[in-house]
Amino acid sequence: MNEQDLGTRVDQANRTAVERMVEARPMLTTVAMAGEVIPGLGERQLLHAGPPIDWQRASGPLRGAIIGALLLEGWAQTQEEARSLAQSGEIDLAPCHHFGCAGPMAGVISPSMAVYVIENVTHGNRAFSNLNEGYGKVLRYGAYSSEVLAKLRWMNGAMAGLLKAALEEGGAAGESSEGLDMRALLAEALHMGDEGHNRNKAGSILFTKLLAPRIARVAQEREEAARVLAFLGDNALSVLNPMMAAAKAMADAAHGQEASTIVTAMARNGTDFGIRVSGLGEEWFTAPAATPDGLYFSGFSAADANPDIGDSTITETAGFGAFAMAAAPAIVQFVSGKPADAITATLEMYEITAGEHPHLTIPSLDFRGTPVGIDLRKVVELGITPRVNTGIAHREAGIGQIGAGLVRPPMEIFESALIAFDQRYG
């Protein structure tokens, strides 16, 4: 095939991939135990953020989260037993992305954890994410103290049960039974100053508002309902996890399009940054993850930071997050910079994407659609890698978030993917 014919074929494939991504309609339908709803999840298996990795190469936060999950499951009784079990190879570690999941930071999901279930009603695919623990010492940053595990047990028990009932049974008479429309929620949040990744204040309030009457209708105990609502309302990241699952459903709808150069996953495990491409199947292209550049909490510096970690870059992959920074000028107080920098960031991302999202718009850009559909060819040709907003984890397990900032994937993963694409299709 000559170069012109291949270019035409790729352009058409990319249009199809982007169309599938933007027309995906992710609905939050229920909350369920991971082992009951995630297809193929094994009884002695843990999922993690980012591309594949083993215990030996895992970063401090990921190791801590694995230890915590082993204790939570009861597969080990002490941290020493958990560490020994993890090192033994008896526990299968696998990327969340291989199971239709997305997990923030360490991203560890175990069979007895509760997950949000997202249904893409347009294309029929599903996606999942765990429940957000809030700030402080939490499992996703590698903490596994008794307090961390006690909170997780409450979340995976009483809280998950109430959310499940609220989503499945709590709708008002005549209300749609499809679930909560996460794309519509995100569209409204963008108009209220969010970008859907590191700034979710408006989205979390909207999320709690939508759930509140449902919870009130099904709750058997008023105090438990109050506790759940307070937990959701006080956590500015409550909506992040279901939004990540929604983004995963959107991106997966575009995956597997023959001859497409659209990136359908970007993810980090705290050691490597990896991408997958629509037309290149399940192959990962990886390189060492960089340390984010940003603002640090008092007492911390870049010397304390772990390399970039988490599946939350699925938001940028689906056309929001840092790609929608122009909608969220206040985020620069958290990740550094000036409000004008937020607009510049979004404008730059239009250069490497194949389309604009018709359902997600930015008021400050005259309601222009967010840039969507990262095109491998444009990234390499222009020398512009995607922007990512991210939290910064301490390199040691359990200390938690120490700042927030901006990071970019290494260019070499896009170059390697493009070479592989040319070998397959050229």
Q: Which two tokens stand for residue 259?
A: 């001859």
Residue 359: pLDDT over 70:
yes
The three-class DSSP label of residue 235 is coil
**404 and 304, same domain (yes or no):** yes
| Of 107 and 401, more confident | 107
Residue 174: pLDDT over 80:
no
Query: Per-residue confidence at 37, pLDDT binned at 50, 70, 90?
Result: very high
Q: What percent of the chain has pLDDT over 70?
A: 99
Could you tell me if residue 248 is inside a domain? no
Could you tell me if residue 336 is inside a domain? yes
Kindly provide the b/e burial profile for residues 226-244, where b requires at least 16 CB atoms within 10 angstroms of the residue's own CB.
eebbebbbebbbbbbbbbb
DSSP state of 157: I
Domain span at residue 126? 25-242
Residue 219's pLDDT is what? 96
Average pLDDT over every residue of 83-105: 96
Residue 294's pLDDT is what? 87
**233 and 263, same domain (yes or no):** no
Average pLDDT over every residue of 349-354: 98
State the CATH number of the domain containing residue 302: 3.90.1700.10
Query: Per-residue confidence at 320, pLDDT binned at 50, 70, 90?
Result: very high
Residue 112's pLDDT is what? 97
Residue 78's pLDDT is what? 96
Transcribe 352-396 into DSSP letters. TEEEEEEEEEEGGGTTEEEEEEEBHHHHHHHT-PPPEEEEEEBSS
**43 and 85, same domain (yes or no):** yes
**176 and 311, same domain (yes or no):** no
Average pLDDT over every residue of 93-115: 98
Average pLDDT over every residue of 150-163: 98
Query: Per-residue confidence at 82, pLDDT binned at 50, 70, 90?
Result: very high
Could you tell me if residue 249 is inside a domain? no
Residue 336's pLDDT is what? 77
**227 and 298, same domain (yes or no):** no
Domain end, chosen from 194, 220, 242, is at 242
Could you tell me if residue 293 is inside a domain? yes
Residue 98's pLDDT is what? 98
Residue 177: pLDDT over 90:
no
What are the two backbone dihedrals, phi and then psi, of residue 339, each rounded to the nearest 5 degrees?
A: -55, -35
Residue 155's pLDDT is what? 98
| Of 64 and 171, more confident | 64
- CB neighbours of 247 closer than 8 A, spacing ≥ 6? 26, 102, 196, 314, 315, 317, 318, 320
Q: Which two tokens stand for residue 150?
A: 């006690």
Could you tell me if residue 250 is inside a domain? no
**288 and 394, same domain (yes or no):** yes
The three-class DSSP label of residue 404 is strand
**118 and 141, same domain (yes or no):** yes
Round the average pLDDT of the chain to a whole number and report it. 95
DSSP state of 109: B
Domain end, chosen from 211, 242, 273, is at 242
**68 and 118, same domain (yes or no):** yes
**228 and 311, same domain (yes or no):** no
Could you tell me if residue 203 is inside a domain? yes
pTM beyond 0.75, yes or no: yes
Residue 392: pLDDT over 80:
yes
Domain end, chosen from 180, 214, 242, is at 242
Which single residue is written with the structure tokens 């109430």?
A: 162
| Lowest mean pLDDT across 38-47, 135-144, 175-184, 308-317 | 175-184
Transcribe 265-299 into DSSP letters. EEEEESSEEEEEEGGGTT--EEEEPPPPEEEE-TT
State the CATH number of the domain containing residue 75: 3.90.1710.10
Distance CA 87, CA 72 (A): 17
The three-class DSSP label of residue 64 is helix
**176 and 37, same domain (yes or no):** yes
Q: What is the pLDDT of residues 229-282, one digit of tens each?
A: 999 999 999 999 999 999 999 999 999 999 999 999 999 999 999 999 999 999
Q: Which two tokens stand for residue 294?
A: 């940003």
Could you tell me if residue 96 is inside a domain? yes
DSSP state of 309: E
**What is the total count of domains within the chain?**
2
Residue 333's pLDDT is what? 82
**320 and 226, same domain (yes or no):** no
Could you tell me if residue 86 is inside a domain? yes
Q: What percent of the chain has pLDDT over 90?
A: 89
**415 and 276, same domain (yes or no):** yes
Residue 404: pLDDT over 80:
yes
Kindly provide the b/e burial profile for residues 364-381, where b requires at least 16 CB atoms within 10 angstroms of the residue's own CB.
ebeebbbbbbbbbbbbbe
